Amino acid sequence: MNNNCVFCKIAAGEIPSFTIYEDEEFKVFLDISPATRGHMLVIPRTHCADIFEIDAGMCARLHKLTVAMAARIRGALNTDALNVLQNNGPLAGQTVRHYHVHLIPRYENDGADLIPAQTEVSGSALAELAEKLRRPLPGGHQ
């Protein structure tokens, strides 16, 4: 537990939240400032700041839970449109530095603006970039 972390406090029940689901490893609760009706967050109880810190196995289990929560949203809120969002680092819009996945149900004319703007890039620039990204990290798993 990180004593300065609001999501650790929510996980521990020290800060109240509208819990949707919880088990020994994860908690799902409603976002306090929802982008749309039903916007919820999935968090691990264990503190980790972001995708670079989270244990890969735990992350896989968390995303499995995310799939189950998506089905629950579809059943309860009668929409099959949904954005899954996961921000890492302040530059990417992460304001709470405890790994979390947003589930944001979408509705006709809901006003939420979550699709990133597109850019145009040349084929050669894409080829060069792909070459760079294909190289595995020394000593890494990938």
The candidate with the shortest Cα–Cα distance to 50, out of 94, 85, 104, is 94
Inter-residue contact 24 to 45 (CB < 8 Å) = yes
Q: Pick between residue 16 and residue 136 the one whose CB is nearest to ligand 5GP.
A: 16
Using CB under 5 A as the binding rule, the residues of this chain from 29 to 88 that contact Zn ion are 47
Question: Both tokens of residue 44?
Answer: 């691990």
Q: Pick between residue 33 and residue 142 the one whose CB is nearest to ligand 5GP.
A: 33
The answer to whether residue 141 is catalytic is no
Q: Using CB under 6 A, which of 2, 46, 83, 94 touches ligand 5GP? A: 94
Which range touches ligand 5GP (CB under 6 A), out of 29-37, 48-56, 66-74, 117-125?
Answer: 29-37
Q: Using CB under 6 A, which of 2, 46, 79, 87 touches ligand 5GP? A: 87
Out of 63, 100, 102, 141, the active site residue is 100
Comparing every residue's Cβ against Zn ion, the nearest one is 5
Give the long-range contacts of residues 71-80, CB within 8 A, separation 24 or more.
Answer: 72/20, 72/21, 73/38, 73/40, 73/103, 73/105, 76/38, 77/37, 77/38, 77/105, 79/105, 79/106, 79/107
Q: Which sequence positions are flagged as catalytic?
A: 100
